[in-house]
Structure formats: C-alpha cells, structure tokens
Amino acid sequence: MEMQKLYLLVPLAPLLGAIIAGLFCRVIPRWLAHTVTIAGVAISCAASFVIFKDVMAGNTYNGPVYRWLSSGEYQFEVGFLIDQLTVTMMLVVTFVSLMVHIYTIGYMQDDPGYNRFFSYISLFTFSMLMLVMSNNFMQLFFGWEAVGLVSYLLIGFWYTRPSAIFANLKAFLVNRVGDFGFILGIGLVLTYFGTLDYAAVFAKAPALAGETIALFGAEKGGVALLTAVCILLFVGAMGKSAQVPLHVWLPDSMEGPTPISALIHAATMVTAGIFMVARMSPLFELSDTALSFVIVTGALTALFMGFLGIIQNDIKRVVAYSTLSQLGYMTVALGASAYSVAIFHLMTHAFFKALLFLAAGSVIIGMHHDQDIRNMGGLRKYMPITWITSLIGSLALIGTPFFAGFYSKDSIIEAVALSHLPGSGFAYFAVMAGVFVTAFYSFRMYFLVFHGEERFGRAAHHAHGAGHATSAHAVAHDAAHAHLAGDDGHGAHHADQAHAEEHHGLAPGQKPHETPWVVTLPLVMLAIPSVIIGFVAIEPMLFGDFFKGAIVVDSTAHPVMVELASHFHGAFAMATHAVTTPVFWLALLGVASAWFMYMKRPDIPAAIKERSGFIYTLLDNKYYFDRFNEVVFAGGARLLGKGLWKGGDAGLIDGVIVNGATRLVAWFATLARLFQTGHIYHYAFTMIIGVFILMTLWVTRA
C-alpha cells in the first residue's frame, strides 16, 4: 500500500505545482511559482528513483487506482503498470523536466507569462507521467491527448506572434490526424478483445493472430486484425513522434520558448510514440507487415529529415531536424524488433538532445536573441561552459565511441543489419547514410557557432526569421537577460531595435556573454549522463534481464536481439572495436567535411548552393510537404467548407428548406385566400365538391 501511495505521488506532485502556479498566477509572486513547480517535479523525480530501486529488487505492480466508468461489461479505470519500461521513462521524464524547470528561471526571467509558463511545463510533466504509467488504453489515450493539449498551449505561448499561432495550429491539426488513427486502433482493440486492459489484451492476442477483418464491406479476404490494430496505433505514433509524413509540425514547434523545445523534443511528447510501440511489443511481434511498415517509415524519417538539417541556419531548427532524424533511428529499431535498443536510444537521446537544446538557448541568450548561426563564430572564448557542453552533446549525437549516443546508435545500426524483414535493406542504407549526414550538420553548426571568425556585432545581419522582434515579450525578455548577465544596455538596445531594423543580435562593439548559473547548471547536469549513461546501461538494458516481462520479443521469428547479444563482448570492447567499423569512419568523414567546408573553404558551400539548383530548392522547401498540405488538405478543407456553406447552408438549408418552406406556406396561403371570400355559397359549393371526391374514392376502393 505504501508503494501505491508513492506511485500516486509521482504524477500528482507536478500536477499540484501546476495548479498552484496556474490558478493563482496573477496573485502569487514569481519566486513562489517556480518554487512550487520545481519542488513538485523534484519530489516526482526522487519518488521515481525510489520506485526504480524497488522494481530492480523484483517488485512490479499492475492494478487499478480508481474506476471512473462502467458501461455494460466494459470497465474504464485509472490504473498503473509499474515495471522496468515504466520506471525508465519515469526517470527520464522527471530528470530532464527538472533540469528544464531550473533552466527556465533564467531563460524566462521577467517574461510577462512567467508563472503561466511554469504551470504549463509542470502540467506537461504530469500528462506525460500519466501516459507512461498507464495500464490500459483509455488512460494511455488520456495522457496522449493531454500532452498534445499542453504542447498546443506551449508552442503558441507567445500568442501575439503570427508565426506562433500558425505553429501551434499546425501542431494541433497534424497530431489530430495521427490521433484519428490511434483512436481507431483503440476502437478495434475494444471491439475484438472486449477490454482495454494491457495485460488482458496481450494475453488474448495470440489467439486472435489469425483473425481478419473486412474493409469497406468486402465479403472475402480482408486484413489481418493485428496488422490493422498495430498500423493504426502506429499512425498515432507517427503524429506524436513526428514520422514522415506527419513530421511537419515539429520544426515549427521552435516558436515556443527554448525550454519547451527541449521538453517536447527530448524527453516527453515525441518519445510517447516510441514508448507506446515498445509497450505494445506483444502485438507488433505478431505482425511482420506492421513491423515492415514501421521500419520503412523510420528509415525515411532518419535519412530525409537529416538532409534538411544541413541547410538550416536557425540554431534551434538544426537541433529540431536532428530530433526528427534520431526519432527515425528509434523507429527503425522498433521495426527490427529491437524494442529495448529503441528505448535505450530514447534514454540516451533525451539527455544529449535536451543538452543541445538548452545549450542552443544559452547561445541565443548570449547573442541577445540572434538565432542565426551565420552571425556567430568564435563564441567558445566568451561562453566556455556553453561551448564545452555543446561539444559533449554534439559528440554524443554523432555516436562518438565512449559517449552515450555511440552505444545506442551503433546498436540500432547493428540490429538493422541483422534483420531480415522486408524493408530492412533500405533501412540499413538509410541509417548508415544518416551517420555521415548527422555528423556533417551537427558539426557544421558547432564550428559556425563556436569557432572561426567572429561574425557578430556587425551593422548588417543576415535575417534569421526568428519572428521575435516587435513583440513586447522580446524587449522585456532581453532586458531580463541583460540584468542577469550584468549588461545594463541590453534591454535599451532591443527597445531601439524593435522600432528600427526589427532584428536581434549584438550591436557593434558588443560581445557575447556567458549565461547565469541557473542556465549553465542544467547544462552541466545533462552533460554528465550524455557521457557515461551509455557505457553504464548498455549491458543490463540490452543484454541482461532489465526489460524482462516488460518487452516481449519472439526470438524464433525475430532473432535480432539474440544475434546482437552474441556479438557483444562488453561496453569497453564495443567502443574500442568501433574504430575499425565503417560507422566510425563515416562519422569522422562528416566532421572533417564540415570543418574543411566551413572553416577552411567557406566558398565551397556557397558554390554548391549555386550549382545545386533543384536539389537545394527541394530541401529549402522541405520536400514541399507544407505546400502539399496547404494546397491539398488545407485547400481541400477550405473548398469543402465553402461548398458546404454555399451549397449546403445557403443553397439547400436556407434556400430550399427554410426559404422554400416559407414560399410553400405563402403559396398555400395565397391559394387558400381564393376560397376565403366570406360568401356562404362559396363555402357550400366547396363542401359539395369535397363530399363528391370522398364518395368517389370510397366507391372506387370498394
């Protein structure tokens, strides 16, 4: 019973903080808002660690907490499933969230919506915890939608900016497309399994493996039930975890403040889909078709989203497209039946990607909100802590031996190479090519920001399109950071710029500055696991009994993990052997290419851009996904709406039904007035005619 109270404490502590900071945001001081929310998340993180120790001791839990609805034979409950997979997600979510909360004190200082923002991110944490701790599909869907709702509020946090309005609307609509498939999958589960409880569904799944369902009224054939269920559930994951073609919302989520960029991208929302597929491994293992669909989708995302990172000049967007690519790697691992490897990469990625986002935010603060990497250079001597932590994050991201990202990323590549599912060949090519691409765009950003010529403080900047310039938030925000950094002229500078050139950046003669400790402390705390967590965790998580019972793999049909284990000889040996593999040399080639092209010969990228023609245009327009959505879906929706308005509402309802009925009544009234003369002989004549008609009908019927 005591442990059950602790389970409840994990999600409720952030919720309480969110309620206090949100409901009383106009009356409580700022220090109280961040204190209660940080305390709530800290309590949740500490409780998660205690629960982790308990689970490692062999204690798991699966049971209801509260029954909120009974409908016939169906029971809808709030319940918890606490096992190895759950506690891994709990630790990742709460630790990264705690770092983001602390970082937010510095980043959002003096923002008008300070209290509101803390309420949102704490509520975000609560929603994600309810999602990962659920033991049934209904609660999973609640957490799924709650995370989506709060992300909508956060992406559009600066709601006076048109770009933020557009971004959160796009996120909302695209995720609804994915959620439509998700709820259809849950509906199929309820229809055929008769329950929404995970354990009951997984127990019944083998017996329904041969079941088919007819589509569109077909009498013969149809689709395997579990294939349909798994693909529909994965469509939901495609929305939340931003897989092609439902990825378009994620880069635009950068319109929200940097702390929420870190939360959305690194530890919470986008990982929900990966977690869900891993949780549903007993279902996916029964459908090779669904696994092939997953692996091909992940491969497309890993490769083609990485290409887009090469041409980005906004520092946060480079990291955003990196997130898309790495999510593709995780999805590829899921499709290869290497679910534990996907979760392992999710965990390592959460630390180094949160580090990269928060480091990008630190750079933005130091640059007075100029986000264009072309306006930076040489920042390492001005921002040493941000520089070294960014380097650690970049090395982890590209899979440098002994860093966290190496162990998870290399394991994914090996797992795909061992898979024999349809689509695995293409997936292997995609993840191998992605190694070079990731190294190239990551270190392109790193070199342009921290090394080379100092390009800041010039009279004319490149337009970076941050969209911040004229907002009142920007001026107040920048003034706050000036105060924190000891630069009294910062706010005044931006106040002038807001009315003049409408751009951010350092004025001539100004130098970047290191950010305050509330910003750099989370960087250091995230850098530590970005180095060591892979080395420590790979053996128990991938080749031990860590996920035993939480993740199910049919080792006969899909022996990838068995073969992977036979090649593993320890974390140290894996790292030292890596220097002989193509993966290492592809990554090194990417780093060397970025250094040569942007440090030694910056004329080469310009020449390539001039000669690339259609390819650059294609990348610059993000493969025209946005344009396609605007023309086909948005345009189609507008056309449909106009048709329903003009034809349905104005033409049919108003014209035919409403106005038609009015005209019919008016005509009938006009006709009736012909007989309403007031002369008795007219009424007598009408009565005789009526009697004659009735008698005729009666005789004819007889």
pLDDT, tens digit (0-9, with 9 covering 90-100), for 338-363:
999 999 999 999 999 999 999 999 99
Dist. CA 645–CA 554, nearest whole Å:
54
The Cα 214–Cα 401 span in angstroms is: 50
Q: Residues 157-172: pLDDT tens digits?
A: 888 888 888 888 888 8
Residue 622: other Cβ atoms inside 10 A? 18
Residues contacting residue 685 through CB under 8 Å, at least 6 positions apart: none
| pLDDT tens string 469-488 | 333 444 444 444 444 444 43
Strand, helix or coil for residue 145:
helix
Strands 74-82, 223-224: pairing kind: unpaired
Average pLDDT over residues 259-268: 73
* Cβ-based neighbour number of residue 407 at 10 Å: 29
**Residue 59 and residue 61: Cα distance in Å, rounded?**
7
Asked whether the predicted pLDDT for residue 64 surpasses 80, the reply is yes
pLDDT of residue 252: 83
pLDDT, mean of residues 495-521: 67
> Residue 292 pairs with which residues in a beta bridge?
none
Band of residue 75 on the pLDDT scale cut at 50, 70, 90: confident
pLDDT above 90 as % of the chain: 50
Residues 529-553 have a mean pLDDT of 92
Question: What's the pLDDT band for 439 if we cut at 50, 70, 90?
Answer: very high
3-state secondary structure 11-33: HHHHHHHHHHHHHCCCCCCHHHH
**Half-sphere exposure (CA, 13 Å, Cβ side) for 248?**
22
- Taking residues 547-567, what's their average pLDDT? 91
- In sequence order, which ranges of 253-287 are alpha helices (DSSP H)? 258-262, 271-279, 281-284
pLDDT score for 670: 79
Summary mean pLDDT of the chain: 85
The yes-or-no verdict on residue 496 having pLDDT over 80 is no
401 close to 584: Cβ distance less than 8 angstroms? yes
Contact partners, residue 605, CB within 8 Å, separation at least 6: 597, 598
Identify the burial level of 142 via C-beta atoms within 10 angstroms of its C-beta, where 0-12 means exposed, 13-18 middle and 19 or more buried: middle
CA distance linking residue 427 with residue 409, whole number of Å? 14
For residues 182 and 395, give the distance between their C-alpha atoms in angstroms, rounded to a whole number: 36
What percent of the residues of the chain are helix, what percent strand, and what percent coil, each to the nearest 5? Answer: 75, 5, 20
Q: Which two tokens stand for residue 542?
A: 């991938």
Q: What is the pLDDT of residue 235?
A: 94
Q: Name the pLDDT band for 56 (thresholds 50, 70, 90).
A: very high
Beta bridge partners of 79: 64
Please enumerate in sequence order all residues whose Cβ is within 8 A of that of 473, keeping only pairs 6 or more positions apart, or say none: 111, 112, 113, 158, 160
Length of the chain: 702
**Average pLDDT for residues 125-136, to the nearest whole number?**
93
pLDDT at 663: 80
pLDDT confidence of residue 463: 42
Please check the confidence at residue 582 and state whether its pLDDT lies above 60: yes
Please determine, for residue 119, whether its predicted confidence score (pLDDT) is greater than 90. yes
- What are 652-700's pLDDT values in tens digits? 787 777 777 788 888 777 777 776 777 776 777 777 887 878 888 777 7
Could you tell me the two tokens for 657? 């039904």
DSSP per residue, 345-394: HHHHHHHHHHHHHHHHHHHHHHTTT--BGGG---GGGT-HHHHHHHHHHH
pLDDT-derived band at 257, boundaries 50, 70, 90: confident
What is the residue type of 368? H
Identify the DSSP state of 651: I
pLDDT given for residue 267 in this prediction: 65
Output the pLDDT for position 522: 92
Residue 263, CB-side half-sphere exposure with 13 Å CA sphere: 32
Mean pLDDT of 515-531: 92
Q: Supply the pLDDT for residue 487.
A: 42
Highest mean pLDDT among 106-110, 209-213, 341-345: 341-345
Q: Is the four-CA dihedral 131, 133, 138, 140 of positive or negative sign? A: positive
Higher pLDDT, 589 or 609: 589
CA dist 212 and 136 (Å) reads: 24
Q: What is the pLDDT of residue 247?
A: 87
Phi, psi angle pair for 552, to nearest 5°? -115, 130
Kindly give the interhelix angle for 137-155 and 162-193, rounded to the nearest 10 degrees.
180
Angle at 393 between CA 391 and CA 395, to 5 degrees: 70
Q: Position of tokens 């490769």?
A: 303
pLDDT at 598 over 90: yes
Q: What is the mean pLDDT of residues 495-515?
A: 60
By DSSP bridging, strand 212-213 and strand 74-82 are unpaired
Q: Measure the CA–CA gap between 557 and 287, rounded to whole angstroms.
A: 11
Q: Residue 292 and residue 287: Cα distance in Å, rounded?
A: 9
- CA separation for the pair 297, 306 (Å, rounded): 14
Residues 353 and 393: their CA atoms lie apart, in Å, by: 7
The mean-pLDDT minimum among 310-314, 438-442, 581-585 falls in 310-314
The confidence score (pLDDT) of residue 266 equals 67
Specify the higher pLDDT residue, 701 or 558. 558
Least confident window among 46-60, 143-157, 394-408, 498-512: 498-512
pLDDT of residue 218: 55
Name the β-bridge partners of 71.
Answer: 74
